[in-house]
Structure 1
Amino acid sequence: MADNTPSKANATYTKVTWRLMPLLFLCYVASYLDRVNVGFAKLQMLNDLQFSETIYGLGAGIFFIGYFLFEIPSNIILHKVGARIWIARIMITWGIISAAMIFVTTPTTFYIMRFLLGAAEAGFFPGVILYLTYWFPSHRRGKIIAIFMTGVPIAGVIGGPLSGWILHSMSGVNGLAGWKWMFIVEAIPSFILGAVVIWYLQDRIRDAKWLSEEEKQILEADIKAEDHQKQTQSLGQLFVNPKVWLMAVIYFSFVMGLYGVGFWLPTIIKTTGVTDPLNIGLLTMIPYAVSAVAMVLIGRSADARRERRWHVAIPAFLGSVGLILSTVYDHNTLLAMSSLTLATAGIMTVLPLFWSLPTAFLSGAAAAAGIALINSLGNLAGFVSPFIIGWLKDTTHSTDIGMYVLAASLIVGGLLTLTVSKQLVNK
């Protein structure tokens, strides 16, 4: 009989966390960096290729069409063949396509490469979220998913200065533009990490040779007990489940804010009067660094209190306020950066805690398809958001109205979160 006392269970979950999370975290850093570094490439690429803001916005967003089309099949395959092989396949494929962005010369090739990048990466994020449900019960996942998703702000902390330095220092090296060097250099970690995943990860608790039999029994008992309380559904039932669609709409609202900031933060900083790409890159560190701390602290608070709804809604409302203030102070670098830091921290904090909502009532194959469905529908906002902002910027010569749209979206998402049953998600 396993010793399932709180101290033994906590020690076991700490061991699992330190074994799995560093690698998954690094993979997400590489993923997000390859996804949004086009925001830095924009600082040079638009002039080199004579692209308009609308072309950029459409190309940045079309990534999510490929992502949408292939995400559910990808996550179902992962559930069947295992996370180790499938996550490695995803990472190596997206590394190749990200590096191949150097061959973009026309709007059409830009659209094609961004679509292919989305198709290649489809399934990575929901696959990891699904993978974590195999190891951690819901009342421990708020903090764990927050740790994983700090990969997004850390990608900003690392990628901002790195991208700025490459654009600043490597333009013309061996006849290549700085933005082309950026795509090449920042694709390399994906290849390396993909190989490490094959060697390092285990698909299930029972496969983990680094766990004792007692530790395996503790983990398996917790997961089994939780699965008994969840819904088992067919794929057809999933598509008509109103809870799943509510989650998709909430996530769509939050992703509008995420990629509004992710794809346009360098441009917004530039409008405050900062012109050197290296300085822009250094300034982007600030919102992302603060966000990383906020995500972990609020994730811990949500787990400790076993409360989800207000821990999602309040950061969403604060993020909305930050976006609005960033337009008010858009010609004052200090005040604009303070506002953007509040906005980014609010948006980033919302996302990991959101995933504690659907994973509280879905399990097994329903979780595989349900998480992918919610993520793919929600990530369509990644297409809508940059395209709307690009079109509005071309039309009005300002990002202000676009920021108001994103702020309103965050408010809607926060309000909808508060309509979710407390008994359903606060476990």
Structure 2
Amino acid sequence: MPPASVSTSPAATAALFRKVSMRIVPLILLGYLFAYLDRINLGFAKLKMLDALGFDDLVYGLGGGLFFVAYIVFEVPSNVLLQRVGARWWLARIMITWGILSGLMVFVTDVWQFYLLRFLLGLAEAGFVPGVLLYLTQWYPSQRRARVIGLFLIGLPAASLLGGPLSGWIMSHFDGAGGWAGWQWLFLLEAVPAVLLGLLLPLVLSSGVRTAGWLSDAEKDLLEAVLKADRDALPAQGHDIGAAFRSGRVWRLGLVAFSFLTATYTISFWLPTILQEAGAGGPGAIGWLTAVPSGCGIVALLVNGFLSDRARERRWHIIVPFALAVAGLAVTVVTDASVVLVTLAITLANIGIVASYPVFWCLPGVFLQGAAAAAGMALISSIGNLGGFVATYALAWMKDLTGNAASGFIAAIVLLAASMVIIHRLPAAEVNR
């Protein structure tokens, strides 16, 4: 309990968490926006880059997939190192190195350079998302996490919302400037913000509650008391790294993450191609059309996270959005090549997928703490990011086989349906906090 002189009123607690959020959330939101922007801009560069370099869809798919191979392999070690080194320094290292490597895509001239840089980019970025999620457990109790995780994860749909028009504009307006193609300017200009934010991060973020010079002693006491009360109320939890790998719940949640990230990256990497095949026009028009699903996804993410926290219920706040995503993807598979119908169907699917993010990522922190939380969140994210490889290389193979990019959406539909069953069977203690 905090000292008797510290106010524990709901108003004082709410004011404290507003202060914490104002300090932490803007930076991590921008970080995820830049990370995802540097990850998916390959989908826009593809519209011109492949012809310029003589690559085919399988080369593109394997290059995109190698990012996730490196990401998966290094994600758990990265998160363990983050816990030891400190979040602000390790997250800064991640952002600076991925920004530099993303910018180096400007100089790609052959297949092997392409493969190498995509692999190194995945290595550099590995651990960013689970690292931030672990960091947030050190500042927020479980009943407040869906909202703040939702604010952090806005970076993903925001990157698509802003990145679509921005990427289309860069490729259209900078093409030929300085002797560089539009896709080269795309990689360079969208890499710079990550480096700059990485340099700023250590100056603003704090390693922990006690070292936060922007909190008073009374605020530190109150925050630590709230976090301790939350930990004491949680079910029995594992604390060591081995506990994460032994937990069946971690592996099941990894399968769920695999399903929605397969669907996410299927949309991110292939929507520009699908819209182009439906007759949407050039990069500029396609960029604006891809913003529609992303804008609607942001609203859904915020609303679903807020409602889940208020109701202290997680299960149906994941299952119902998944059902919407399945419906939208199914329409995409069976529809004719219509720009309007494809855009509407993908918007519905994106609403369902994105709305589930903040609620899902509340679940690991309920039964994992300490080193187990670092390893467990990273393991779940690693398994999930296998979906990125499926959405790039495997779907490129399916497109090459069938001639239709939308046919690969069937895999995402099956995976999401299976995940609805997994979530439905989770213990009540894990889905009602």
TM-score by length of 2: 0.96
Residue in structure 2 matched with residue 311 of structure 1 by the alignment: 317
Residue in structure 1 matched with residue 306 of structure 2 by the alignment: 300
Which structure 2 residues correspond to residues 124-163 of structure 1 after superposition, within 5 A?
124-163=128-167
Q: Classify the secondary structure of the residue corresponding to 1:380.
A: helix
What amino acid is aligned across from residue 49 of structure 2 in structure 1? M
Tell me, yes or no, if structure 1 residue 66 matches structure 2 residue 99: no
TM-superposed CA distance for 1:317, in Å, is 1.4
Residue in structure 2 matched with residue 367 of structure 1 by the alignment: 373
Tell me, yes or no, if structure 1 residue 24 matches structure 2 residue 41: no
In 2, are the aligned partners of 1:247 and 1:374 still within 8 Å (CA)?
yes
2:183 aligned to 149, 163, 179, which one?
A: 179
Separation in 1, partners of 2:401, 2:86: 47
1:34 aligned to 38, 41, 56, which one?
A: 38
Residue in structure 2 matched with residue 101 of structure 1 by the alignment: 105
Provide, for residues 349-405 of structure 1, a one-character-per-residue CA deviation record: whole Å limited to 9, x for no partner: 122211111111111111111111111121111112221211111111102320111
Tell me, yes or no, if structure 1 residue 113 matches structure 2 residue 117: yes
Residue in structure 2 matched with residue 344 of structure 1 by the alignment: 350
Alignment gaps of 5+ in structure 1: none
What amino acid is aligned across from residue 386 of structure 1 in structure 2? T
Separation in 2, partners of 1:414, 1:110: 37
TM-superposed CA distance for 1:217, in Å, is 1.4
Tell me, yes or no, if structure 1 residue 221 matches structure 2 residue 225: yes
Provide, for residues 305-334 of structure 1, a one-character-per-residue CA deviation record: whole Å limited to 9, x for no partner: 000011011111111111111233342211
Q: Classify the secondary structure of the residue corresponding to 1:373.
A: helix
Separation in 2, partners of 1:225, 1:134: 13
In 2, are the aligned partners of 1:143 and 1:296 still within 8 Å (CA)?
yes
Deviates more, 1:37-46 or 1:225-234: 225-234
Separation in 1, partners of 2:247, 2:411: 28
Tell me, yes or no, if structure 1 residue 45 matches structure 2 residue 84: no
Provide, for residues 51-89 of structure 1, a one-character-per-residue CA deviation record: whole Å limited to 9, x for no partner: 111211111111011111111111111111111111111
Residue in structure 2 matched with residue 323 of structure 1 by the alignment: 329
Residue in structure 2 matched with residue 243 of structure 1 by the alignment: 249
Separation in 2, partners of 1:330, 1:355: 36
Separation in 2, partners of 1:317, 1:415: 11
Deviates more, 1:245-254 or 1:140-149: 245-254
What amino acid is aligned across from residue 136 of structure 2 in structure 1? L
What amino acid is aligned across from residue 147 of structure 1 in structure 2? L
Separation in 2, partners of 1:285, 1:76: 36
Q: Classify the secondary structure of the residue corresponding to 1:232.
A: coil
Separation in 1, partners of 2:418, 2:348: 18
Separation in 1, partners of 2:336, 2:90: 43
Separation in 2, partners of 1:62, 1:327: 26
Separation in 1, partners of 2:97, 2:272: 27
What is the percent sequence identity of the aligned residues?
A: 45
In 1, are the aligned partners of 2:304 and 2:356 still within 8 Å (CA)?
no
CA distance 1:174–1:330, change in 2 (3 Å): farther
Q: Over aligned residue pairs, what C-alpha RMSD do you find?
A: 1.2
What amino acid is aligned across from residue 207 of structure 1 in structure 2? T
In 2, are the aligned partners of 1:316 and 1:414 still within 8 Å (CA)?
yes
Provide, for residues 257-280 of structure 1, a one-character-per-residue CA deviation record: whole Å limited to 9, x for no partner: 111111111112112211210010
Tell me, yes or no, if structure 1 residue 353 matches structure 2 residue 345: no
Separation in 1, partners of 2:274, 2:406: 10
Residue in structure 2 matched with residue 413 of structure 1 by the alignment: 419
TM-superposed CA distance for 1:179, in Å, is 0.5
Separation in 2, partners of 1:330, 1:171: 33
Deviates more, 1:77-86 or 1:101-110: 101-110
Separation in 2, partners of 1:330, 1:122: 38
Separation in 2, partners of 1:234, 1:86: 21
Tell me, yes or no, if structure 1 residue 233 matches structure 2 residue 235: no
TM-score by length of 1: 0.98
Separation in 1, partners of 2:34, 2:255: 27
Separation in 1, partners of 2:45, 2:120: 18
Q: Classify the secondary structure of the residue corresponding to 2:313.
A: coil
Tell me, yes or no, if structure 1 residue 392 matches structure 2 residue 398: yes
In 2, are the aligned partners of 1:322 and 1:342 still within 8 Å (CA)?
yes
In 2, are the aligned partners of 1:65 and 1:383 still within 8 Å (CA)?
yes
TM-superposed CA distance for 1:139, in Å, is 0.6
In 2, are the aligned partners of 1:315 and 1:349 still within 8 Å (CA)?
yes
CA distance 1:59–1:267, change in 2 (3 Å): same
TM-superposed CA distance for 1:129, in Å, is 0.2
Residue in structure 2 matched with residue 57 of structure 1 by the alignment: 61
What amino acid is aligned across from residue 267 of structure 1 in structure 2? T
What amino acid is aligned across from residue 150 of structure 1 in structure 2? I
In 2, are the aligned partners of 1:248 and 1:377 still within 8 Å (CA)?
yes
Provide, for residues 82-106 of structure 1, a one-character-per-residue CA deviation record: whole Å limited to 9, x for no partner: 1111111100000110001112222
In 2, are the aligned partners of 1:327 and 1:336 still within 8 Å (CA)?
no
Separation in 1, partners of 2:245, 2:411: 28
